[in-house]
């Protein structure tokens, strides 16, 4: 795990490690790095204890981001983790395996994520509420993103791979791209390799690690996001770094029909950092009530977050 040096805090690092140790792709290298982090400073162990206490208070993170009853990991002790004497093993609902795809339309519902292998051996992963269409001809391969988000690991081929999203397109021969489309707002990130991003009157090269945000009538914006945070959604997690509660709630609501509602402007403007499982809005809201001066009201279809009285 890579941490940014500033404005990082021990508490944020501890929260990151807790989420990483519960991740589906946790490795022996992660465990070794975690124990090295613990030994580096006595305050790290205390921060990890505090983060674990909050984890326990909200019932941990759900194993499956889809709306099904949660299953909690058994036999997991924070002290065992810190001592290296026990493993954290979660079975993730995303682990459906790669499904062979045929040319056509592929889509997901709310809270669903799916993986496909296209005819050209390109691998795609669809996020919640996503719809794409794939076609191939002797001269090119074409993936059209109608809505939502998709990770595309492009197989090398003599034919160019074109991804269309509204009036913009990204063209590459191989590599890995993350694309998101919310209405007329399109974000494209070159996770690996590079791509040519084209519109009717312009063309720019997007280098590895860079992102472009595009919206009609506005100037394109470029930045370099934290890639580990950017792709966290693929393991059913969202990473928030000093973001407002209303921004976090908007993202969490994409994964559930049970809506989170921020009741007042003060609560909406509070800021948070951390890594959270998607698909369990109540656990997310309860964690906010532990970390921030807010209170929650749980109703069958809505969870309200308000400034604590």
Q: Are 160 and 180 in contact (CB under 8 A)?
A: no
Q: Is the pLDDT of residue 169 over 50?
A: yes
Residue with tokens 């707002």, as numbered in its chain: 185
192: nearest Cα among 238, 162, 227, 220: 227
User: Hunting for tokens 């580990």 — which residue is that?
Assistant: 228
**Most confident of the following: 50-59, 71-80, 258-267, 280-289:** 258-267
In this prediction, what percent of the chain has a pLDDT beyond 70? 75
Look at residue 59 in the predicted model and tell me its pLDDT.
Answer: 44
Q: Quick one: average pLDDT of 106-127?
A: 92
Give the model confidence (pLDDT) of 43-80 as tens digits: 787 777 666 655 554 444 444 433 333 333 333 344 44
DSSP 155: P
- What's the chain's Rg over C-alpha atoms? 20
Q: Which two tokens stand for residue 171?
A: 């063209």
Res 23: pLDDT: 59
Outline where DSSP puts E strands in the chain.
99-100, 104-107, 114-117, 123-126, 131-136, 141-154, 161-165, 168-172, 175-182, 185-192, 195-198, 203-206, 211-214, 221-223, 237-244, 259-262, 271-277, 294-298, 302-307
Question: Helix, strand or coil for residue 9?
Answer: coil
Confidence (pLDDT) at 38 = 81
- What confidence category does residue 127 fall into, taking pLDDT thresholds of 50, 70 and 90? very high
pLDDT (tens digit per residue) in 141-168:
999 999 999 999 999 999 999 999 988 8
The answer to whether 283 and 62 are in contact (CB under 8 A) is: yes
Q: What mean pLDDT do residues 179-203 have?
A: 91
Average pLDDT score over the chain? 80
Least trusted range by pLDDT, from 23-32, 73-82, 119-128: 73-82
> Confidence band (pLDDT; 50, 70, 90) for 103?
low
Question: Of residues 6 and 150, which shows the higher confidence score?
Answer: 150
CB-count burial class (<10 Å; 0-12, 13-18, 19+) for 9: exposed
- Please tell me the predicted confidence (pLDDT) of residue 24: 52
Long-range interactions of 70-75: CB distance < 8 A, separation 24+:
70/280, 73/22
- Of 61-75, 140-154, 237-251, 265-279, give the lowest mean pLDDT range: 61-75
Residue 180, pLDDT > 50, answer: yes
Pairing of strands 114-117, 99-100: parallel
Tell me what pLDDT residue 12 has: 65
| Rounded Cα–Cα distance for residues 206 and 223 (Å) | 10
Supply the DSSP string of 80-117, one letter for each residue.
HHHHT-S------TT---PEE--SEEEE--TT--EEEE
**What is the rounded distance in angstroms from the CA atom of residue 252 to the CA atom of residue 244?**
13
Alpha-carbon gap, residue 254 to 128, rounded angstroms: 7
């Amino acid at each position: 795990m890579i941490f940014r040096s500033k404005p990082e805090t021990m508490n944020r690092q501890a929260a990151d490690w807790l989420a990483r140790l519960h991740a589906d792709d946790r490795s022996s290298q992660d465990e070794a790095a975690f124990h090295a982090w613990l030994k580096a400073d006595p305050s790290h162990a205390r921060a990890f204890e505090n983060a674990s206490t909050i984890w326990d208070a909200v019932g941990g993170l759900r194993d499956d981001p889809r709306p099904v009853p949660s299953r909690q990991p058994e036999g997991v002790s924070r002290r065992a983790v810190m001592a290296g004497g026990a493993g954290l093993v979660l079975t993730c609902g995303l682990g459906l395996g790669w499904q062979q795809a045929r040319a056509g339309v592929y889509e997901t519902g709310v809270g669903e994520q799916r993986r496909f292998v296209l005819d050209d051996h390109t691998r795609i992963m669809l996020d919640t509420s996503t719809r794409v269409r794939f076609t191939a001809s002797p001269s090119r391969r074409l993936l059209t993103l109608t809505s939502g988000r998709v990770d595309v690991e492009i197989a090398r081929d003599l034919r160019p791979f074109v991804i269309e999203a509204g009036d913009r397109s990204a063209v590459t021969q191989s590599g890995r791209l993350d694309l998101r489309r919310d209405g007329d707002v399109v974000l494209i990130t070159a996770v690996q390799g590079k791509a040519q991003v084209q519109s009717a009157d312009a063309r720019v090269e997007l280098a590895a690690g860079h992102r472009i945000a595009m919206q009609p009538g506005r100037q394109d914006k470029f930045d370099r996001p934290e890639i580990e945070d950017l792709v966290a959604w693929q393991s059913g997690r969202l990473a928030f770094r000093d973001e407002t509660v209303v921004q976090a709630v908007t993202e969490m609501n994409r994964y559930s029909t049970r809506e989170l509602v921020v009741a007042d402007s003060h609560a909406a403007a509070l800021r948070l950092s951390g890594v959270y499982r998607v698909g369990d809005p109540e656990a997310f809201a309860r964690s906010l009530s532990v970390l921030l001066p807010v209170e929650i009201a749980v109703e069958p279809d809505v969870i309200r977050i308000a400034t604590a009285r």
